[in-house]
Amino acid sequence: MAWTTSDSENTPTPSSKDTPNPVWFKPVMFGFMLVGLVWILIYYVSQSSWPVPSIGPWNIMVGFGIMFIGFLMTTRWR
């Protein structure tokens, strides 16, 4: 008596690592990077009167933080 397996038992199941990203992932990722860049550019061009004048130079950190979120998302992009 020979032991046989069906093809359905040998097919690999897709794991969560192999599944593609949702459609919204790439626009959101690039959106975060662009919003952060625009935030910093507006801060420099407006000579510290925009986007949030009360936090002053921390606007640069806010812009880099927003961009950093987008860069972190690139590690999950498939």
pLDDT tens-digit map of 23-52: 999 999 999 999 999 999 999 999 888 999
Beta carbons within 10 angstroms of residue 38's beta carbon? 13
Q: What is the pTM of this model?
A: 0.74
Cα–Cα dist 53/43, whole Å: 9
Residue among 42, 22, 37 nearest 71 (CA)? 37
